[in-house]
Structure 1
Amino acid sequence: MEDVPQLPGYSFRDYNLQDFKLNPKCSYLNGHRFIKDSWCGVGKRPIDVMSSAYSPENPEAVDYDPSLTYGRSKGYPKRQVIPHYVLFAQKCLNFKAFFRQSVYNSPSEHHRIRHVNIIYFLEDDTLCVIEPPVDNSGFQQGKLVRRGKIPKNQDNDVYHWKDLNVGINIEIYGVTYHTVDCDAFTREFLLSQGIDIGDKEDPPPDAYTQDRLSKLSITKTIKKNTNSNAEDSRRKFLEYDGMVLTFNSTWNDDYYQILYFLTDDTISIKESPIIKNGKDPCKLLLKKTRVPKNWNDLPDSYPRIYLERSDEEVVEYYSPSDFKIGETIFIFGRRFLLLDCDQFTRKYYCNMLGLEQPEKIQYNTENIKNGICQGIATNNKNNICNFKKSRNTNKEDVIRKLYNHQKKLRYKISMAAVHPDDIDREFIMEYSLGDGTIKINEIGKKNSGRIGGCFLSSMLVPKKNIKIDNCDEEIPIYYTPNDFLIGSNINIFNHHFLINDADEFVHHYVENNKDKFTPELVKNIQDYFTNKKYKIIQDNKNDNKIQDDNKITKNNIVIEPIVHPYPQGRLPKGKICSQCDDINNERRKITWSDQVQVPCTLTSG
């Protein structure tokens, strides 16, 4: 293709070439303009001129191009220029120094020795002075001189790393710092730059700091010596690790386990996992901590309002010798009666302390039973005793719940007023036939000061002071519809209510299920709703009689209530009756006088 002349129709385009930019000839270098040789043409394609750079002066003698075999000649590699701030980035020279600060009006000292670090940053030739923190020094510590270029004379010449060395005085803003040492990097850097480094010096000690540290060390030594080897926490950890004294106790009719850890003499209290009384679980009553015997025994001068008590204020903590079955211990104001302990605890007291723990105490406080009376039945003693025997295998009556789903008996009750604020408080009581729970909602009234809503959430409500014969224990008997007679009083958690009314559904349910209720309740419901219907009929008759008696004729005068002052439509202008003047009914407004009875005399036709 190279022998084909460059004529239209004889040339072929290379579609892989997409760049047709011209290579610039003029450029800038270090602020000077120059012309650079072009080694490529349009689209950075090599030109034929570069291949003839190695040919002799006579272009006709070009027979062989050495660059095709040996490649183009390359110049010497140029050294990479690294800026100063990149070369010395995050590289610092650290010098240890001190300065003397005068102390006035002090009989114990005249000056204070303060040790500082002078840090020089090589990347921007800045310097700062930082004082290491010292406990209870009484001076402002930290960064004494902020980072910046520090002048060294009146000619505003700044400090350079060549001006720094060990054993010289450096004056910074009127304060003279004496350098005594430097770190390894600083020493290596200065030696590499040909600077001789002075010998290391010992900084003078601060008399005040040394005196305070000596007093503190004496106090720690005395405190360390007072602790005997018998009370060493490490020895107790190795000897008693994993050993716990367990006591069963009771507080507030609930059962708990008191755990005494012999490793660090701490006490933890958690709920007993065996006893299940139906309450919300409380896994941990007291976390692991040391318990004082008398936690209120503090001196009168102790600021207990804002300061927590520490080990120094507590006189005595509980020890294993203070726990004995049958006795009561006070833990942060709560009285715990110790009932029993495990076998390991008994062996520990017998072998280690030489004490015999008493036998287990039989403490019976089963006030809450697991039994739930299912169904609507009479409260006879035989059923209760039989239920008592099978209360441990109690299961939910699913058939009853499905059959009576969403069936509720509603009653209107009022609270027996013990306080004047409870007068005229009315409620709606709902009895769920599915599970026997009771829910009470208060009826809201205007200007009563109370917001209506839930008074008692849905729950089983037990009766008060129900004693059962022929049974060893008392069984809670819950309220059933047999107890809800109209006009009777019920006690719900020491709140007395009077049943005033019942829903119509109660009447229909009792009539259709008479076998589930007592005859007394059936008769009470029937009599109440019969009287209620009779009263409604009498009220309707009285209303009709009042409407019939609205027209009363006396001396040819009829008294009628004016419902509408004028009939619909426009009346002609004139007299309505013989004793009424002309009334123009156009654009007339109805006033309060239009609602009174107007006597009118009828005229004969």
Structure 2
Amino acid sequence: MESKKFPLLPGYAPTHDPTLVNWKKTSHVKLEKNSMPTTKKAPIEAIPIPIHTDFNPEKTQESKSFSQSTYQNPFGTGDITEKFAPAYQKLDKQVLKFNGYFQESVVESATENYRVRVVSIYYYLEDSSIMISEMKQTNSGTPQGTFLCRQVVNKPGEEVPIEFEDFRVGETINIFGRNFKLTDCDKFTRNYYANVGIEQPGPEEVPVDSFTKSQVKPAPKKDAAMLDYLEHTLGGGRVKSQKQFLDNDRKVLRFFTYSDEEPYVIHYYLADDTIEIREVNFANSGKHSFALLLRRQKLPKVFSVGQPGLDTNEESYLTEDEIKPGDAIIAFGRSFKITGVDEFTQKYYKKNYNQHFPLTDASGASYGDHPPPVARAEPPPYNGFGDEEDTLGYVKKLLPEKPKKDFFKYVDNDKKTFRYTARFNTQIPEDVDRRFIICFFLADDTLSIFEPAQKNSGVVGGKFLERRKYKKKNGEFITPSDFVIGGDVVINAHSFHILNADEQ
């Protein structure tokens, strides 16, 4: 049907033929001959032009560019009226936020009577609902986060919900029987109340409970005189010499001294002119090893309990050029007699100050203080039962351990055995003709002796000595070097004469 036959109405654009009577729904899948089914794409139709519905037909159009025009718009004026919107749509996502607190009583506590809990109150304008959230505090011991879920709260004793006019900074609001003191609100909340003609007062401070006050340590008052004294005491008060640190870093002078018949070691650090004093404790002396008597610090020449404002300067501290051979170092009223130095300190004073210090160590030999000998328990004699090394494990340790073997020696010499032919070194007629085969195992230095059976000898052959380690008369274990062809060796109180050895 031709488009000119349609009525020329504003906003009406025909896109189909209304004379068609076949309203069957066509399939998008068509079958082609000797082919797979394919999807038929629907034709793209023109989208009809929408009709403006925001015009009010009761009003006439008034042109701003042609104010003198007498054209009358049959559809109304050009003024667009505002669409109607419900309150929940206009006030969507508009929330009033107030900061406040409430006091919670604490019973049976000697440190506090009440506890202040800080909260944030949110008032949703779209449905007049309220949500309360408690601010998180570290180690408070109280459940924190959402204090009151979002809901509509009625006024106490009434069935009317709380409105935004009931919130005012500096006043108290009752929510479910609990009084909340409002202390502040955000910028959006203040602007909202200003637009409706209500001014909110200024912010107030949140009170601090007694327990929180006890946990906060008061800041010490700054005293210029005391600060200057402490800086000088700790080595401050002047610009540190970087060149001195770079030239003398890790260079330490070591003095061996004694005080009250006890040995001490004094370390003088050339990098920053500090001194450290350590005790010298020997083994089994009953004292802690490497005990620190004086931590590393600058040593004042004259020790006195100073008052705030006392003028202390750099010259009042001990320097390396003031230490002389044979003198004593006074550290906070205690005298330390110098007995010697180490090799580096001796060369340092000889090169820089032409002074000679005796060379010694911390053993106390310079003044006759030798450490006592360490008493050691003597193991009992071997009783012949079991392996001797295994038996010593019960003597050396409370909880015996298995004897450790040389694993590398075992791997290198595994299955390597020296065999010797021997006889008794005796003149007894019954033992002269007896022959023995001595096997020495290089893997673990053990040996065994086997006696071959002989006819009409009257001696039963077989194992003569089992495999294990055997000692010589001097207490040392038998080694392969003790077996020499033509020589004698004593094994387990039996003297054997070596006759021959195998080819290995």
Please indicate the TM-score interval, normalised by the length of the shorter structure: 0.3 to 0.5
Provide the TM-score with structure 1 as the length reference: 0.34
**TM-score normalised to the size of structure 2?**
0.39
Relative contact order higher in (CA < 8 Å, ≥ 6 apart) = 2
